[in-house]
Amino acid sequence: MPRFLILADGEFSPETSKTANSVIRYLPDQVVGVMDRVNAGKTVQDVLGYGGDIPVYGSMDQGLKQRPNAVLIGIAPAGGRLPDEWRGWLADALDAGCDLWSGLHTFLSDDPVLRERARANGREIHDVRRPPPGLPVAAGLARLVDPLVVLSVGTDCNVGKMTAQLQLVRGLRDRGLRTRFVATGQTGIFIEGWGTAVDAVVADFIAGAAEELVLKAAPDSDVLLVEGQGSINHPGYSGVTLGLLHGSCPDALVLCHQASREFIGEYRGSPWLRVPPLPDYVSMYELIGSAVHPTRVIGISMNTYDLTDAEARDACDRAAAATGLACTDPVRFDPAPLVTAIERAFEVKRGRRVSPSWP
């Protein structure tokens, strides 16, 4: 079992280190520390508001002294290339007996220095964004699987599409539904241990990668919770979003939103496109998704991490009123409203329940 030291140097915060933060949230017992010179000496709890007393170290040396057996890259370096400084740190980590786990577009195992060092030390480099060989062009086969397929879709990047699904797994299992999380991005793959980063495959095979994941996860499952990517109106990433929507053939969609988000892509420095009202997203996702396989938005997952409890409750109430759908923040509040919405959709698909409006 990996015991991770997470590399998040200079970027460890609630907003910027999405991968690091999610691994800490879902695999806290497997994280021995975070390397970040800016927050050195603090605990993860100090920085994120969760994560307990996992320490933040100011150097790789210090971090490696805690005897991790794996170093996980928890942030994306500016420009996507591996900084020279990181190469040195990662080589040291290999020498210290660690495997490397990376979701960067630049593959660590293509770096001759790191590859040689891994070989010499008998360690492994896991580039989880490297596409699997032999991906198909999707042919709509995911529409034929038995389980209820639920895809999380978003109003933007980085609003909580993966987290929404991960928060629902336990609640669904508690109701007797055999539920699997289907990872489509680097962080989800770290957490679940398998999956394909659909944003990293050749464009013609986005939907095919999603189809392959759904077909693989379907046997012996009642509900598949497929991790969504991007947003249908994101100027940079919408192609990934739509390929995933059409390749996974979801029966039901959970729409994910961050209550305080005003502009699309605000973490990417292009604040010109306003986030439209939630009912517009419901229309867009249902229209375009149903063009391949009939689908409905069945609930709203609201990310309220930066609000007070009262503001958060108000945001959920307003979203529910505007859309007529169940809405909760499944991290802050009880995920039950979304669990119930999925359970009902499952019963409709199984023919145990008749719905006038769904599917």
Residues that bind its own copies (CB under 8 A): 105, 137-140, 198-204, 206-208, 232-244, 246-247, 265, 268-270, 272-273, 276, 283-284, 287-288, 291-292
3-class state of residue 35 by DSSP: strand
Query: Of 31 and 75, which has the nearer Cβ to its own copies?
Result: 75
With CA atoms as reference, report the closest residue to 220 among 146, 150, 168, 141: 146
Nearest distance in Å: CB 306, its own copies: 24
Query: Of 162 and 200, which has the nearer Cβ to its own copies?
Result: 200
With CA atoms as reference, report the closest residue to 169 among 223, 245, 229, 217: 223
Token pair of 289, please?
Answer: 């998704």
Q: How far is CA 174 from the centre of its chain?
A: 22
DSSP one-letter code for 38: T
Query: Of 284 and 336, which has the nearer Cβ to its own copies?
Result: 284
Task: Confirm if 253 and 338 have CB atoms less than 8 A apart.
Answer: no
Query: Of 49 and 80, which has the nearer Cβ to its own copies?
Result: 80
Query: Of 28 and 83, which has the nearer Cβ to its own copies?
Result: 83
Query: Of 92 and 286, which has the nearer Cβ to its own copies?
Result: 286
Give the whole-angstrom CA distance, residue 313 versus residue 148: 29
Nearest distance in Å: CB 156, its own copies: 12
Query: Of 169 and 197, which has the nearer Cβ to its own copies?
Result: 197
Task: Confirm if 282 and 290 have CB atoms less than 8 A apart.
Answer: no
Give the whole-angstrom CA distance, residue 349 versus residue 315: 30
Nearest distance in Å: CB 269, its own copies: 8
Query: Of 113 and 202, which has the nearer Cβ to its own copies?
Result: 202
Tell whether omega for the bond before 235 is within 30 degrees of 0, i.e. cis: no
Nearest distance in Å: CB 115, its own copies: 19
Q: What are the C-alpha distances in Å from 71 to residues 2, 4, 68, 216? A: 9, 5, 7, 28
Taking the alpha carbons at both ends of the chain, their separation in whole angstroms is 41
3-class state of residue 192 by DSSP: helix
Query: Of 68 and 208, which has the nearer Cβ to its own copies?
Result: 208
DSSP β-ladder status, 296-303 and 252-258: parallel
Query: Of 132 and 239, which has the nearer Cβ to its own copies?
Result: 239
Give the whole-angstrom CA distance, residue 219 versus residue 225: 14
What single-letter amino acid sits at 80?
G
User: What secondary structure does DSSP assign to 266-310, as a single string?
Assistant: GGGT-TTSBPPPHHHHHHHHHHHHHTTS--EEEEEEEE-TTS-HH
Nearest distance in Å: CB 230, its own copies: 9
Nearest distance in Å: CB 255, its own copies: 15
Give the whole-angstrom CA distance, residue 200 versus residue 80: 13
Give the whole-angstrom CA distance, residue 137 versus residue 206: 8
Nearest distance in Å: CB 285, its own copies: 10
